[in-house]
Amino acid sequence: MENNIAIKELILKMADDALIIGHRNSEWTGIGPVLEEDIAFSSMSQDKIGHAWALYMILQEPFGDIDADTKAFNRTEKEFTCCHLVEYPIGEYDFSIMRHFLMDKAEYHRYDLLTQSSFLPLQHLSKKVKGEIKYHVMHAETWVEQLAKGNEESKARIQSALDYAYPIALSIFEKSDNEEFLKNENIFGGEEALFNLWHEDVKKHIEHYGLKMPSVTDMNKHYGGRKGYHTEHLAPLLKEMTEVFALDPKAEW
């Protein structure tokens, strides 16, 4: 039982993160600063939603959970376990780029750790997904560096976006009550190990770009999403995201 609970929690939070950030980033389609960025964010959003689908399918097939569409589109806000970072509206482009940078860095390192997982469905998926996220990270790095090394205004804005988004990004690393089992069984190395890899990577790049790392005194401030406690932004997002499915949940498309 502990085995199933711990693994399902890990897979579900990863899937929910990918689904919600995929939906959020898709909102840039048609309104990006340049046409190429409309295409880039749309493509990466499709990747994220594809990752979510693959993870929901792991829940369905080995564990006998509900089908992926129902899992994605027919749950209440309280049943989602996404982190707070993915829930925020897209805001200005500087915020979306910084969230993209921080989130994809974390996802890259998470999937990298999971390529060594003893749980084979996650191991096999992670080897594929890691390669896709590598390009997401490269896109984010290019934009953050470009803005940081641009003019005074662009540097100030991307620094401000970092100061705002970084504390929220710590919500990614909220621990599960069942994490020790995952570590002991070599399924996943744990959120602390993931945070340390992420922090060093982010810090190295941020300092290289000439930006300053924010100082955070309360690591837990934005925790809660993993246990179903969300920001005010998630409920309206879910309503919009599920409105077609809600018209006829039994319809076959």
Q: What is the pLDDT of residues 157-216, one digit of tens each?
A: 999 999 999 999 999 999 999 999 999 999 999 999 999 999 999 999 999 999 999 998
pLDDT per residue as tens digits for the range 220-239: 999 999 999 999 999 999 99
For residue 122, give the nearest of 110, 132, 131 by alpha carbon: 110
pLDDT per residue as tens digits for the range 134-162: 999 999 999 999 999 999 999 999 999 99
The predicted pLDDT at position 251 comes to: 64
Distance CA 28, CA 41 (A): 7
The answer to whether 158 and 140 have CB atoms below 8 angstroms apart is no
Write phi, then psi, for 238 (nearest 5 degrees).
Answer: -65, -35
Is 50 exceeded by the pLDDT of residue 1? no
Is 60 exceeded by the pLDDT of residue 2? no
In CATH, what number is assigned to the domain containing residue 231? Answer: 1.20.1260.10
Is 80 exceeded by the pLDDT of residue 247? no
pLDDT per residue as tens digits for the range 97-125: 999 999 999 999 999 999 999 999 999 99
Is 70 exceeded by the pLDDT of residue 85? yes
Distance CA 115, CA 123 (A): 5
The predicted pLDDT at position 252 comes to: 64
Token digits for 123? 């191991």
Is 50 exceeded by the pLDDT of residue 73? yes
The predicted pLDDT at position 126 comes to: 98
18 within domain boundaries: yes
94 within domain boundaries: yes
The residue segments making up the domain with residue 9 are 2-247
The position carrying tokens 């096999």 is: 124
175 within domain boundaries: yes
252 within domain boundaries: no
69 within domain boundaries: yes
The more confident residue out of 42 and 33 is 42
253 within domain boundaries: no
For residue 101, give the nearest of 93, 113, 240, 193 by alpha carbon: 93
Distance CA 96, CA 102 (A): 10
> How many Cα atoms are found within 13 Å in the side-chain-facing hemisphere of 106?
24
Domain count along the chain: 1
Distance CA 172, CA 169 (A): 6
The predicted pLDDT at position 178 comes to: 93
Would you place residue 75 in the very low, low, confident or very high pLDDT band (cuts 50, 70, 90)? very high
Distance CA 117, CA 124 (A): 9
Token digits for 216? 């955070």
